[in-house]
Structure 1
Amino acid sequence: MPGAPRKAAITGIALSDCGRLDDATPYTLHAQAARRALADAGLAPGAVDGLASAGLGTLAPAEVAEYLGLRPRWVDSTSVGGATWEVMAAHAADAIAAGRARAVLLVYGSTARADLKAGRRTANLSFGARGPLQFEVAYGHTLIAKYAMAARRHMHEYGTTLGQLAQVAVQARQNASRNPEAMYRAPITVDDVLAGPVIADPFTKLHCCLRSDGGAAVLMVAEDLVPDCAGPPVWVLGTGEYVSHTTMAQWDDFTVSPAAVSGRLAFERAGVTPAEIDVAELYDAFTYMTLVTLEDLGFCAKGEGGAFVEKGRLRYDGELPTNTDGGGLSAQHPGMRGLFLLVEAVRQLRGEAGGHQVRRTDGSPPSLAVASGTGGWFCSAGTVILARD
């Protein structure tokens, strides 16, 4: 008879250098984040027998494994946009439970900002030339325009206002102001957000994420390896993943994101409810993404996201601290940000977030966190529930 499934824990986390890195390469950022995460866990590279990597090279994760000097027996290169890393964490937890891997490294690095500034074209800029998206590309449907269309629909259906959406950016900046690693820390107001240049109606510049360079790494291990690790474990309680659409014509409802499914699955599998969550780390390429994800994860009812966010609940000291590092809107956003959500969630649960650390009423760090990534234009979602104890 097979043994009981092994639980998975995160014991190593790290960011590479982030921000403006004109002389870095994606490979060096991978290596920097990976070395730091392994050092955080107190494990040698030889302990890693699983690798998850996406977004770099035609043979990822084989190219990344070779660059890092690893020989993994389990690999994952799933690529579903911003949700990739939460989906990969789900796959890694399953592999650990089944005994196919004992220590899985999730690692990412991108020089998205440097590439843009240097005029280097990347593969991500030309996706959609073939396949279903060919029918929309010809009409100029950019990624931001698709998010803007969805936001307008939510405003039409539920009376959500631009001021409410702007509150998401303002509170993200308030969180970032306490995070020395954030790219932008100067306070902003709702008026600042509304007065900015329009990028895609209704979004002004500050409704949109920044563009940065940087990398991140997370080490997930089987429970029997936890005693060999230096850092305190953060346990994976439950995960969920879901893919919705690619073309806007196939999206059933612009006001419902795929997190409605991935979140429900993750909470059911974790055996907890949204009301028990202490910290939320949500993909925030645009302000609307945060608002609708809060609804779809069950933190408020559908259509009530606007009223929910305007009361300061998302601040690091609010009722539901959200994107506590400043998020993609203020901290960093190097291509895909999903892995950064997991790093920040673990930092918060460990009590290692410094000036933007969330504290419960008794002064202790949070006990439960949710990290939920979104890919494409609400095309995919991955949700992970994490616990300190």
Structure 2
Amino acid sequence: MREEAVLRGSTAVVGVAESDLGEVGPGVSSLDLVGQATTRALADAGLALSDIDGLFCHSAFVQMPVVATAEYLGIRPRYSDSTAVGGSSFVAYLRHATAAIAAGMCEVALITYGSIQRSHGGLITSGAALEKSYEAAFRPRLPATAYALAAARHMHEFGTTREQLAEVAVAAREWARLNPVAFARDELTIEDVLGSRMVSSPLTIRDCCLVTDGGGAVIVTSAARAKSLRKPPVYLLGSGEAHWHKDIFQMPDLTRTAAIESGSRAYEVAGIRPSEIDVVEVYDAFTINTLVFLEDLGFCEKGEGGRFIEGGGIAPGGRLPVNTNGGGLSYCHPGMYGVFLIVEAVRQIRGECGERQVPNCRTALVHGNGGTLSSQVSAVLGDESTL
């Protein structure tokens, strides 16, 4: 970690934005949403499109995503990265952009994503798998079945209850009710979650993320340049990446993810303990994600996630603010969610979140997940006082 620690605080996020969210309707493409989000993020930073010389993006819906995105935006980046590790890719790009900037390969990096998944009729795949599937014979409903396996195992091994899992969805909805652009803002109770349509036992439809349209953009530059721009810089203090499997049947332990490694690496570089994190934004594609990641990222012991969450533990006013925009469960989830984790964390550190603002927020942990609990990427962000 010695070499990476040199990069601590060397870059900062200087602009963030969402596109239009929810259901954007016909005539709008995923690249249109990328364009909206990028234009808004540049305005947030006080930069121009011509300033972008590094492009980082991934898409299941666009061929050669960095090439297509650059063409659409009318830019000619000198450095591009389309690393594909699922929804965690965008958190990984924070780390990759920092390395590229430190190496002089680019100066202003754009991280972006857009999808019209809802307007296109729901779940979209990126095409037929080219490799043989050893899971297909069991007729799983992926990805829900994979996450249901993890939930069932956690319940069996640690006594986690359905009510505790439901509290994850209820907490997300309480945060979403404070977010004017969240997709789902009506009241949600534990009974509503338990009584909703079963998708893959033990997970009901309310344990599963939304299917929405949406795009996001994040602008990263050197700490030196960041100080002269429009908004207070939010620094990347540390990050880590890890993956132990691709398919769920190859997962070594259904209750433990590679977030154990990615989180510890991020904390080590940042020089920060979990107890020093003010707000947590984790990839909540399913309710079990939030519970397991809180354990693996050190906010409670393994097996204690259900008890940590219950009684409003991660809801507004609880012991730990988690997924303060409403998360993928209630705010938005357009196929891949990672970029939105960064957007919310940056806004919280800047103090821009209105009713849902966490008081005195100086640090945030952002954690991305890809595949079926497969790729895990963690990043610690902080304001100037944390340098």
User: TM class by shorter-chain length?
Assistant: over 0.9
TM-score (normalizing by structure 2) = 0.94
Deviation at 1:249, TM superposition (A): 2.9
Partner residue of 1:61 out of 54, 66, 72: 66
2:309 maps to a residue whose letter is V
- Measured after TM superposition, the shift of residue 186 of structure 1 is 1.2
SS of alignment partner, residue 376 of structure 2: strand
* Mapped partners of 2:222, 2:136: distance in 1: 44
- CA displacement 1:184-221 (0-9 Å, x = unmatched): 11111111111111110001111111110000000000
Query: Of residues 344, 366, 372 in structure 2, which corresponds to 1:371?
Result: 366
**Deviations for 1:224-275, whole angstroms, at most 9, x for unmatched residues?**
2113311110000001011221223321100011211111111111110000
Change (3 A) 1:239 1:67: same
1:182 aligns with 2:182: yes
SS of the equivalent of 1:138 reads: helix
**How far is 1:316 from its partner?**
3.1
Question: 2:137, 2:109 → 1: CA distance?
Answer: 41
Identify the residue that residue 86 of structure 1 maps to in structure 2: 91
2-structure distance, mates of 1:123, 1:253: 27
Name the structure 2 match of 1:299: 299
Match of 2:259 in 1: 259
The 5-angstrom pairing of residues 89-104 of structure 1 reads 89-104=94-109
For residue 24 of structure 2, the aligned residue among 21, 30, 39 is 21
C-alpha distance after superposition, 1:345-376 (max 9, x if no partner) = 000000001111111xxxx3x01000101011
Contact 2:227/2:233 (8 A) holds in 1:
no
2:288 alignment counterpart:
288
Aligned partners of 1:370 and 1:386 also within 8 Å:
yes
Matches within 5 A, 1:193-232: 193-232=193-232
Runs (5+) with no aligned partner, structure 1: none
Separation (CA, whole Å) in 2 of partners of 1:342 and 1:383? 11
One-letter code of the match for 1:217?
A
Which residue number corresponds to residue 119 of structure 2? 114
Q: Which residue type is aligned with residue 94 of structure 2?
A: A
Secondary structure class of the residue paired with 1:116: coil
Query: 1:296 & 1:213 partners in 2: Cα distance?
Result: 30
Which residue type is aligned with residue 44 of structure 1? A
Question: Which secondary structure does the structure 2 equivalent of 1:107 belong to?
Answer: strand
- C-alpha contact 1:244 1:378 (8 A) present in aligned 2: no
AA paired with 2:40? R
Q: Distance in 2 between matches of 1:174 and 1:9?
A: 30
**Partner of 1:247 in structure 2?**
247
Paired residue secondary structure (1:61): helix
Q: Does residue 358 in structure 1 map to residue 363 in structure 2?
A: no
What residue in structure 1 maps to residue 324 of structure 2? 324
Q: What amino acid is aligned across from residue 182 of structure 1 in structure 2? A: A
Distance between the aligned counterparts of 1:13 and 1:82, measured in 2? 18
Counterpart of 1:41?
A: 45
Give the whole-Å Cα distance in 1 for the aligned partners of 2:38 and 2:130: 35
> What secondary structure does 2:63 align onto?
coil
Displacement after TM superposition at 1:17 (Å): 0.4
Query: Percent identity over the alignment?
Result: 46
2:235 match: 235
CA drift of 1:99 comes to: 2.1
Q: Match for 1:30 among 25, 30, 34?
A: 34
Indicate if the aligned counterparts of 1:317 and 1:358 stay in contact, CA closer than 8 A.
no
Structure 2 residues not aligned, in runs of 5+: 1-5
2:154 is aligned with 1:154? yes
Q: TM-score, normalised by structure 1?
A: 0.94
For residues 321 and 99 of structure 1, the distance between their equivalents in structure 2, rounded to whole angstroms, comes to 37
State how far apart, in whole Å, the 2-side matches of 1:309 and 1:97 are: 39
**What CA distance in whole angstroms lies between the structure 2 residues aligned with 1:376 and 1:196?**
25
Letter in 2 for 1:58: Q
Q: Secondary structure at the match of 2:156?
A: helix
Contact 2:248 2:373 in 1 (8 A): no
For the Cα contact (< 8 Å) 2:11–2:221, is it kept in 1?
A: yes
Contact preservation (8 Å) 1:112, 1:334: yes
* Helix, strand or coil at the partner of 1:113: coil
Give the aligned residue type for 1:174: E
How many residues of Structure 1 are paired with residues of Structure 2 in the alignment? 375
**Whole-angstrom distance in 2 between the partners of 1:273 and 1:96:** 27
Deviations 1:5-49 (A, max 9, x none): 580000000000000111221010000000000000001111111
Q: In 1, Cα distance between the equivalents of 2:93 and 2:219?
A: 12
Shift of 1:140: 1.4
The answer for the alignment partner of 1:268 in structure 2 is 268
The answer on whether the counterparts of 1:259 and 1:297 sit within 8 Å (CA) in structure 2 is yes
Q: Distance in 2 between matches of 1:260 and 1:114?
A: 36
**Are 1:10 and 2:3 counterparts?**
no
User: How far did 1:98 drift?
Assistant: 2.2
Q: Deviations over 1:266-301 (max 9, x none)?
A: 111111000000000000010000000000000000
The 2-side partners of 1:44 and 1:247 are apart by: 41
